[in-house]
Amino acid sequence: MSLCEPFCLDRARRLLPRQGTPFAARPRLPTLRPSTRTCCALALAAAAQLSRALPAQEAPGECPLGRVSQLFVDNRSVFDAEAGKLDSRFGWAYRLANRAHIRTREAVIRRELLFREGSCYDPALLEDSERILRSTSFLADADVFAVRQPDGTMHVVVETRDEWSTRLEPQVESGEVGLRGLELREDNLMGRGQRVSAFIKERQGERVFGAAFATRQLFGTQADAELSLERTPVGYGVQQRLAWPFRGEAGRFAFRQQVEHEANNFEFWIPGEEGRPRRFLFPEERRAFDVGTVFRLGQRGNLTLFGVALAGDWTVYPRDSLRSASGTPITVPVPGGGEVFGLDSVSSLRMVFLAGQRNVWFERHRALDAVRGAEDVRLGVEAEMGIGRSLSAISDDDDLAVDLGFFAAGHLPGGVLAGMRVVAEGRRDYAAPVGSFEWRNLFGQADAWAYWRPGPDSRSTWVASLFADGGWRTTVPFQLTLGSRAGLRGYRPHVFMGERRAVATLEHRMYLGWPYPRLFDVGSAAFVDVGKIWQGGDLYGRESPVQANVGVGLRVAFPPGSRRTYRLDIAAPVAPRFQPGGVQVSLGIGQAVGRGAADDHPQIRRSSRRPLSASLFSFPN
């Protein structure tokens, strides 16, 4: 190795062409000492010319594209001072941020890759590895590319830039005064990619405090592990998870094990005087576990999944009536006298069979849900099913559980990027009385989203979204509410109650590029939300008129190019009547609508029987 080779390799990404990229298009070498600059320029230019002029050597039969002979990792801190794109006025701030941040260790980045030195070169594995790196919470961006060498082998360069990983996140509720909670979180402990957090937060209106730890590389492997402990007003909660997920699209085997214990108060809202809802609580204790494995067959873009899992769920209700949020006896009229009717405790251990079809690919887009950062968007079609019969010999319940899921996304005419997701679950109770309907606890949720940008370089993005969810024939505590927590940002968190609802949103987002684009990203938003709820079987609910609000918002990301978006929205009701005095302010992390927000709603998740699906075994999905 010559004296200049380490320096040259560190800057190979700046000089050598990528696959299909002209050599002249690579950035020029920064100003260096003449001897070093000449050495690097001559060495790398000669290598590039040789790679063009000389025919590649025949690769062994098992590696038709050659082998990865060298792997270089360029792990940068939060701000890259060498890039020459930073504002010199804030040099002190960049240096301070980098010094306060511990850079991700090279070994951590290497363990996330799907290839090693000596592996057969496969462009698809490079793409998957790049996507895996970008999906982590401690990396803001990643780039993986290869440079062919004169001997036919490949040098692979991995460039990463860290996310600002230390956060103090407040919990602020629309329409409420003061903090509702606070979380101190570090997503990259000592540069190892481990997450630790301590929190005091409000869940279903009650104060919960605890701590959590998670790692993506347990004992230096690609196993994921997570442990969280929390104290609730009526007990404690524990969640432990161990998983070996599918990483990328090439994995063939995945494993998952999870244990949960929760003691919480279920939150019910009941219409009160002058239409203002009152809050009541219903205690429940839940224990659950699952352990299973899934296999993949087929080729990338056309994968068939099948697996098996053992899952248990036990839920009991210490009392059969509501209590007031203050803990005092109920002194106001409540439907049914405060008794919660039709509930059945849960005691089931079941064998679950999992199947799915995954025909997906990924595209990289910029500034969809991030202010300006790059995002990996899943396109294609995916369908999955889980079906499990309770083991009656060791279960009190005698039922069949069915869980279904469907996803589709792609490009529509006119440059529209759109997608949708539907999930449903239900239980068939074989012990139901003769002549009665056997299906119970039917839950469903559908989400649809679409993005449109006037031009590829436009700073403007239009986003449309629609979600609907509901429950039918429930024998577990269940209630939905319509308000800011359901997407109507101009209303209080809970305005109307019922069992089925739908909310639609149209939002315009604009990247401002102001005032200091090299320090942080700033964007604006203007939106209209429309929603409605139906009573269904909710004893305490009622059907609402169509509600609508309009609002504006601010979006901020730090550092520039980060995918993590901080959101501030201000909105007011306009239908069925305009209420200028009802302005609501909400804060959050992540966009309120769009593909990133299309997840199981908390009010569905708290009543769901924790369905299993093949998609739980994939990362990133």
Give 579's pLDDT tier (boundaries 50, 70, 90). confident
Q: What are phi and psi of 122, to 5 degrees?
A: -140, 110
Task: Between 460 and 84, name the one with better pLDDT.
Answer: 460
Contact of 122 with 65, CB cutoff 8 Å: yes
Within the chain, what is the greatest distance between any pair of CA atoms?
91
- For residue 333, the model assigns a pLDDT of 59
Residue 619 has pLDDT above 70, yes or no: no
Report the percentage of the chain scoring pLDDT > 70. Answer: 83
What pLDDT, in 10s, does the model give residues 117-171? 999 999 999 999 999 999 999 999 999 999 999 999 999 999 999 998 998 888 7
What pLDDT, in 10s, does the model give residues 209-233? 999 999 999 999 999 999 999 999 8
- For residue 2, the model assigns a pLDDT of 39
Lowest mean pLDDT across 111-115, 409-413, 578-582 = 578-582
SS3 for 342-397 is: CCCCEEEEEEEEEEEEEEEEEEEEECCCCCCCEEEEEEEEEEEEEEEEECHHHCCC
Handedness of CA 78, 84, 90, 96 (dihedral sign): positive
Paired residues of 420 in beta bridges: 408, 448
Measured between alpha carbons, how far is 279 from 338 in angstroms, rounded to an integer?
12
CA 557 to centroid of chain Cα atoms: 17
- For residue 168, the model assigns a pLDDT of 87
Q: Nearest Cα to 548, choosing from 517, 565, 524, 527?
A: 527
pLDDT (mean) for 445-460:
94
- For residue 25, the model assigns a pLDDT of 35
Q: Nearest Cα to 590, choosing from 569, 619, 559, 616?
A: 569
Residue 417 has pLDDT above 60, yes or no: yes
CA 282 to centroid of chain Cα atoms: 30
What pLDDT, in 10s, does the model give residues 161-205? 999 899 888 877 655 556 778 899 999 999 999 999 999 988 777
Give 356's pLDDT tier (boundaries 50, 70, 90). very high
- For residue 97, the model assigns a pLDDT of 81
Give 388's pLDDT tier (boundaries 50, 70, 90). very high
Paired residues of 618 in beta bridges: 246
- For residue 220, the model assigns a pLDDT of 92
Q: How far is CA 536 from CA 342, 469, 481, in A?
A: 15, 12, 12
Domains of the chain (ranges plus CATH)? 5-162 (3.10.20.310), 234-619 (2.40.160)
- For residue 621, the model assigns a pLDDT of 63
- For residue 344, the model assigns a pLDDT of 81
- For residue 525, the model assigns a pLDDT of 97
DSSP state of 55: P
Give SS3 for 70: strand
Name, of 7-11, 55-59, 363-367, 408-412, the range with top average pLDDT: 408-412
Q: Nearest Cα to 598, choosing from 527, 512, 531, 505?
A: 505
CA 288 to centroid of chain Cα atoms: 23
List, edge to edge, every strand of the sheet that includes 68-76.
Answer: 68-76, 154-162, 139-148
Q: Nearest Cα to 68, choosing from 7, 119, 1?
A: 119
Tokens of 325: 């949020």
Average pLDDT in the chain: 84
Give 13's pLDDT tier (boundaries 50, 70, 90). very low
Task: Between 543 and 333, name the one with better pLDDT.
Answer: 543
Measured between alpha carbons, how far is 423 from 598 in angstroms, rounded to an integer?
11
Task: Between 3 and 564, name the one with better pLDDT.
Answer: 564
Give 5's pLDDT tier (boundaries 50, 70, 90). very low
- For residue 355, the model assigns a pLDDT of 95
Give SS3 for 166: strand
SS3 for 557-593 is: ECCCCCCCCEEEEEEEEEECCCCHHHCEEEEEECCCC
Task: Between 455 and 340, name the one with better pLDDT.
Answer: 455
What pLDDT, in 10s, does the model give residues 274-304? 667 888 888 899 999 999 999 999 999 999 9
Residue 53 has pLDDT above 60, yes or no: no
- For residue 395, the model assigns a pLDDT of 87
- For residue 319, the model assigns a pLDDT of 81
Measured between alpha carbons, how far is 120 from 69 in angstroms, rounded to an integer?
9
Taking 3-state DSSP, the helix, strand and coil percentages for the chain, each rounded to the nearest 5, stand at: 15, 50, 35
Give 608's pLDDT tier (boundaries 50, 70, 90). confident
pLDDT (mean) for 267-275:
79
Task: Between 312 and 619, name the one with better pLDDT.
Answer: 312
- For residue 55, the model assigns a pLDDT of 39
Q: What are phi and psi of 358, to 5 degrees?
A: -125, 105
Q: Nearest Cα to 511, choosing from 376, 367, 375?
A: 367
Residue 44 has pLDDT above 60, yes or no: no
Q: How far is CA 140 from CA 77, 127, 373, 547, 555, in A?
A: 10, 16, 8, 38, 17
Residue 22 has pLDDT above 60, yes or no: no
Residue 51 has pLDDT above 70, yes or no: no
